[in-house]
Structure 1
Amino acid sequence: MNFCAEIVNEIRIQLEEVYSLRDKITMKSDGTYVSEGDVLVQNIVYERLKVILPFHQLISEEMAPFKEEWNEKGSYVVLDPIDGTENFVSGLIEWGVGISIYTEGKHVESCIYLPELDQVQITGMPIKKFTSRIRGLSSSLTKQDLEQLPEGFEYRIVGCSMYNMLSAIKGSFASFENVKAVACWDILPGLNLALEHGVGAFVDGEVYTGQILFPTKKYKILLQSA
């Protein structure tokens, strides 16, 4: 499987155009932004999918809401075209692309790509490990949530799940937790890469074992470095 590498290559080729779409934004019904950059990246993936993986269905944040029936033994490409759109449209560099591929219900490849940080992690690639005492937190936490955090730790809130999960996989964060629940496209790449690299991965308090998660609900997650 080399779908993710092809997508990363194609996005790199069109990266200047992606950047140029930062200020072309629309407010969605949930109060979050979608930019034309999100749509461009989604189109890049969709066009390659039709050629390379024609029997896979695309599940993408920018195609929600979904009305399809889901099959745990089905073949899907789960995509977050720009994770951290708020960062992206604000001119921050912490945003990324997340892809997870399932064929007949089995995970075959995942990718986290952080274009402006020039970081890529694809299933099968080696990874450099670090040791850290920093805990990553979801940007969805309220002021009251923050005031209740235990003392004795360093905390970081970045606002990009791909960045946060990759940091936990590398050990740059001792852990990353999202307690407010997020969609499958926000977390599947990080969960599967965590499994590959021996990082504890939990969904709704249960050990994650590689199963596909569908956009029928949202999930609380924890990555904990071993």
Structure 2
Amino acid sequence: MKMDIEQINTIAMAAGAAIMEVYDNGDFSVDFKSDESPLTAADKAAHITIVEQLAKLTPDMPILSEEAVEAFSGANENGEYWLVDPLDGTKEFIKRNGEFTVNIALIRSGKPVLGVVYAPAIDTLYYAEESAGAFKRVGRDQAQAISVESHSEDSPWRVVGSRSHASQETLDYLTQIEQYEMVPMGSSLKLCLVAEGRADLYPRFGLTSLWDTAAAHAVVLASGGEVVTPEGKPLDYSNTEQMLNPYFIVRNPKDWQ
């Protein structure tokens, strides 16, 4: 399936507008799902916007959304499906720090081949298609191509982490690096920082779900980066029976040859 990625950008931005309506109105009533993760009116509004518009654009394409997992019955005969997180970083949304995103990815044979990550509070859009490159657009500015950067041996490693305390597994992993500085960030923006060369490394030794990573994973791949398990295997999205990702590392492969 081939489409204009600007159509997906428009859908992500429409979902972002729905989120910001809740954000600006201050409706921060929070429900909790069975896994105790938070759910707000913004999650629900963004989900409805995305699913309705994707269904109009690609009526025969299955959609796996965090907010309607039970409605997903599997990829199509070509191994394709939409993988959506209507509001990634709900905790960041509740904290009102702006570091939350809309994530839309197209999966083909387990690989994210198109991805859009939109951060509505800061009006920043990342998007990518396989073989077409990765781009960043801020506000009304013209989109700029982005790519990973190689780590400079003369400077500390810039390591992306969550704003909460780093896990012991992460600290153990970082012992192989002589010098590093932490770059705090929320949601899937952590992967995008590596994709645009503002960070060198993002080790994630904690729980994430398929929809948390897929869109930004596509951006990383198109920017020349990789998202791999600690054993070096690419993160894969073909097994939707297993919604949780393994631990993973986002990096420039040239730094680890």
TM range (shorter): 0.7 to 0.9
**Greater mean deviation of Cα atoms: 196-205 or 38-47:** 196-205
Equivalent-residue separation in structure 1 for 2:111 and 2:186 (angstroms) = 29
Question: Residue 194 of structure 1 corresponds to which residue in structure 2?
Answer: 220
2:66 is the counterpart of 1:61: yes
Tell me which residue corresponds to 2:54. Answer: 49
Matched letter for residue 187 of structure 1: T
Who is 2:140 aligned against? none
User: Structure 1 unaligned runs (5+)?
Assistant: none
Correspondence for 1:134? 158
Measured in 1, the distance between the counterparts of 2:50 and 2:72 equals: 21
Post-superposition offset of 1:74 = 3.2
| Range moving further from structure 2, 65-74 or 21-30 | 65-74
Q: Provide the TM-score with structure 2 as the length reference.
A: 0.74
Please say if 1:5 is aligned against 2:32: no
Residues 205 and 191 of structure 1, relative CA distance in 2, 3 Å threshold:
farther
Give the Cα separation in 1 of the matches to 2:106 and 2:18: 22
Corresponding residue of 1:208:
234
* Distance change in 2, residues 1:76/1:70 (3 Å): closer
Residues 110 and 210 from structure 1, CA distance in 2 versus in 1: closer, same or farther, beyond 3 angstroms? farther
The 2-side partners of 1:158 and 1:22 are apart by: 24
Equivalent residue number for residue 170 of structure 1: 196
Equivalences for residues 1-226 of structure 1 within 5 A: 1=3, 2=5, 3-11=7-15, 13-19=17-23, 20=25, 22-64=27-69, 68-69=73-74, 73-102=78-107, 107-123=112-128, 124=132, 125=135, 126-129=144-147, 133-138=157-162, 144-145=168-169, 148=172, 149-150=174-175, 152-160=179-187, 162-203=188-229, 205-208=231-234, 212=238, 214=240, 216-219=242-245, 220-225=247-252, 226=254
Q: 1:145 to 1:70 in 2, by over 3 A?
A: same
Q: CA deviation at 1:15?
A: 5.0
Note the C-alpha offset of 1:137. 2.5
Identity, in percent, stands at: 20
Q: Normalising by the residue count of structure 1, what TM-score does the alignment of the two structures yield?
A: 0.83
1:200 partner letter: E
Q: Structure 1: which 4+ aligned runs deviate by more than 6 Å? A: none
Specify every segment of 5 or more residues in structure 2 that has no aligned partner in the other structure, as ranges.
136-143, 152-156
Which one-letter code corresponds to 1:127 in the other structure?
A
Instruction: Give the deviation of 1:65 after TM superposition.
Output: 5.5
2:115–2:217 contact (8 Å) kept in structure 1: no
